[in-house]
Amino acid sequence: MCIGAPLQVVACDGTRAWCEADGQRELIDMLLVGEQPPGTWVLAFHGAARQVLDADEAAAVRAGRRAMAAVFDGAADVDDFFADLVGRVPTLPAHLLEDQR
């Protein structure tokens, strides 16, 4: 399983950026997403930014990673990490709904 890390750009020099979050600090290759200003969230994997995230997306990914760590530590209930999903019925994305006509 591949799991990216949401990191926030601290300083960028064009092709590389210092990024950090949750006690992690990495020098990230920015070639795939381009130079980003400080404060921008990126999804990084194997030392490269793969996608630019908005703050809500970054928070959701960070919560999911914390939930996974809690499960590894023996937690059975991780609903608090997924407050945006608990108590609602999932819906299909629009492009999948069109196929069901």
Structure tokens at 8: 């926030």
What pLDDT does 100 receive?
Answer: 59
Residue 97 in any domain: the answer is: no
The model's confidence at residue 42, banded by pLDDT at 50, 70 and 90, is very high
pLDDT for 79 equals 74
Domain span including residue 14: 5-81
Residue 67 lies in a domain: yes
Q: Note the pLDDT tens digit of each residue in 43-81.
A: 999 999 999 999 999 998 888 888 877 887 787 777 777
Q: Tell whether 68 is covered by a domain.
A: yes
Cα–Cα distance, 66 to 70 (Å, whole number): 6
Number of domains in the chain: 1
Contact 19, 8 (CB under 8 A): yes
Q: What is the DSSP letter of 78?
A: -
The reply to whether 21 falls in a domain is yes
SS3 62: helix
Residue 101 resides in a domain: no
- What is the pLDDT, as a whole number, of residue 1? 52
